[in-house]
Chains A and B, each alone.
Chain A
Amino acid sequence: MFHSFLRSIFCLSLLILTVLSPRFSYAEMDVEFSGFIAGDLRIFSENGLLEDQSDARLNPSFVIQPEWSAEWNGGDDRLDFIPFFRADFQDEERTHADIRELKYLHVDDGWDVTIGLDKVFWGVMEARHLVDIINQTDNVEDVDGEDKLGQPMINVGVQRDFGDINFFVLPYFREQTFAGLDGRLRAPLDVDTDRANYDSDLEEFHPDFAVRYATVMGDWDLGFAHFYGTGREPRLVAELGGTGDLVLVPHYDLINQTSMDVQATIEEWLWKFEAIYRTGQGDDFEAMSAGLEYTFFGLIQDVGDLGVLVEYHHDGRDGSAPATIFDHDVFFGLRAALNDEDDTSILGGIILDTETQAQVFTLEASKRLNDHLTFEGELRIYSNQSDTDPLYSARDDDHLQLRLSYYF
């Protein structure tokens, strides 16, 4: 059923494309099928803390993400389709499907255009992705903010000697995902996404716009952007639910956000900076992240690299804006890349709040087992969260996540 639905979308897209591209020819078309299926196991160190939360310490789940890609005109025209599905046996909100990508891409002389669902990343930092705003975060996937929902867009890029400019029209808004009542790593109350409301009367159909200029000047990679539209981060407002219980209702504001991101790559050093200025969520505010990464090449058995990361994150928002843990935090990290045939790599780090001393410790490791199988482990420990910390309700959710992925 699901498959035939996907197939009809794919066929429909092909049909649209035959109209879009006059030079289309099936004979030249180069189609690829790939993807992965993975089994995840989250192991929690303690029982669920909150009411209704599952007490199970083991949380198994499965993910599948196939990928179809068709290319013609020597790669100048392309169609990508990447559906995604997770089955979680504990949290029904975490059992979810998404279309990560369904896009048509045309590359031409000095310009390109993308139409459809796509993912766009901006930024240079590791612990926080401050300027990255095009895609909504798929929060139930992972708490690091790196999993994103497919965003409908028209993205026109123009490349000139002085740099690249991209114009985005984002005609439909994707709501953030939240763990359900059974789930771990959730807000203190149920988040009632059915009652989500908006600044705009058009709600999720408010068209959002963004423009970005990016350029490379010698050792410097620079990006400047502006976004106008429905902010991706919601404010969670406590309201009385239908059953008389308090629930949290997401409210999405219309915002303007101007941002810059910079990286200087000098010898073994990466110097990084990101900043935003946002209006529309309470008082106007700025936020910035600055950091560096130094790599000791060949330090581990002559071939492996060890990188040291330090980042500072400051956020000037007040209580009328969506909460963040990065108000004044320092991130210290170590990254080891063994550069072996299994691509073994480890990234460990701690985010430390300089005022409250709250800490989030993470350790990620991955290793390829063979041509198809890859193993990943991820450890997260929360400590010292005060009752005003956004992670207060997750303070007993320390966990180790093991993932075995099969790539095809």
Chain B
Amino acid sequence: MLKKTLKIALLSGLVGSSIALPAWADVNVEKGTTIATEWDKRDEGFRDSNATLKMVLENRHGEKSTRELRIKTLEVPDMAEGDKSLTVFRKPRDIKGTAFLSFAHIHDPDDQWLYLPALKRVKRISSKNKSGPFMGSEFSYEDMSAQELAKYTYKWLKDEPCGDATCYVLEQRPTYENSGYTKMVVWYDQAEYRRQKIDFYDRKDALLKSLTFMEYQQYLGKFWRALDMQMVNHQTGKKTRLTFAKYEFKTGLREQDFTKNKLKKVR
């Protein structure tokens, strides 16, 4: 048995996985990858975006606290590289002006810098904390980071109704290190390939969080963005709601708008 597995593994390494894996797995992986590729393709060419974002954190007692930020994103066309983003915090007031610059990479750790306005100091920070909470919310750094095709492997599970639409349901496993998830189950609507829901499974493969996408808006006749997202942590009962406003695309942002120097000069 062990020998056989080894042989299959060797074979797959030499000839490619299509021969070695059972036919049903292969078909589902292929189908899942095709769906995800289509999802990725439909968002190609947005070049850059700019949006304001409100984040409402709610603990299990219903107590709320609010954060406000502005996010600028630059699409990096190279498929092997992730996008660049610059986030400026507006609220809570005590961290107003704090800014965060991130160069996402597919498999290498992201490059991240944090600007602290009280000291006027830019700090390069370690990006190993992918699973850590972003601003104390239920979104982790990896949830906020650019969603790139190559960051996951894909497997189609089933088709099923989701709200008024019908969805492809895919299982996605992170290909990068230090993820807080073993897998995500993602619902894509069949009409527009928009993500409708994500279930996140923790390192022990237990259901951790669910993210629901609402109020999809289409920009420039192509790019869909959910203006309302709700993350629920099933293990702690905490919730975080994200609402976006003032979405703009192709605003003319360039590489030089995403630098350490610029980090000190945005408001």
Contact = CB atoms under 8 A, between A and B. Distances in A.
Per DSSP, are chain A's interface residues mostly helix, strand or loop, or mixed?
A: strand
B124 A265 contact: yes
Interface string B253-267: 000100111100111
Contact of A75 (B57, B66, B93, B267): B267
B57 A341 contact: yes
B92 A303 contact: no
B59 interface: yes
A114 B172 CA distance: 48
A362 B128 CA distance: 28
A368 B94 contact: yes
Given A75-B267, A121-B119, A341-B136, A298 B129 contact: yes
Interface stretch (A104-112, A171-179, A279-287): A104-112
Interface stretch (A248-256, A266-274, A325-333): A266-274
Interface residues of B, number: 36
A120 interface: yes
Interface in B149-177: none
B132 A371 contact: no
B109 A267 contact: yes
A374 B91 CA distance: 13
Given A214-B260, A339-B136, A341-B57, A265 B126 contact: yes
Nearest to A114: B265
A120 B120 contact: yes
Contact of A407 (B93, B122, B261): B93
Interface of B: 57, 59, 65-66, 91-96, 109, 111, 119-126, 128-129, 131-133, 135-137, 256, 259-262, 265-267
Interface of A: 32, 34, 36, 69, 71, 75, 78, 105, 107, 109-110, 112, 119-121, 123-124, 146, 157, 159, 164, 214, 216, 221, 263, 265, 267-270, 295, 297-298, 303, 305, 339-343, 368, 370-372, 374, 405, 407-408
5 contacts: A69-B267, A78-B265, A297-B128, A339-B133, A371-B66
Given A36-B93, A407-B96, 20 more contacts: A34-B96, A109-B256, A112-B261, A112-B265, A121-B121, A164-B259, A164-B260, A216-B260, A267-B128, A298-B129, A305-B129, A339-B136, A340-B136, A341-B135, A341-B137, A342-B136, A343-B92, A371-B66, A405-B94, A408-B93
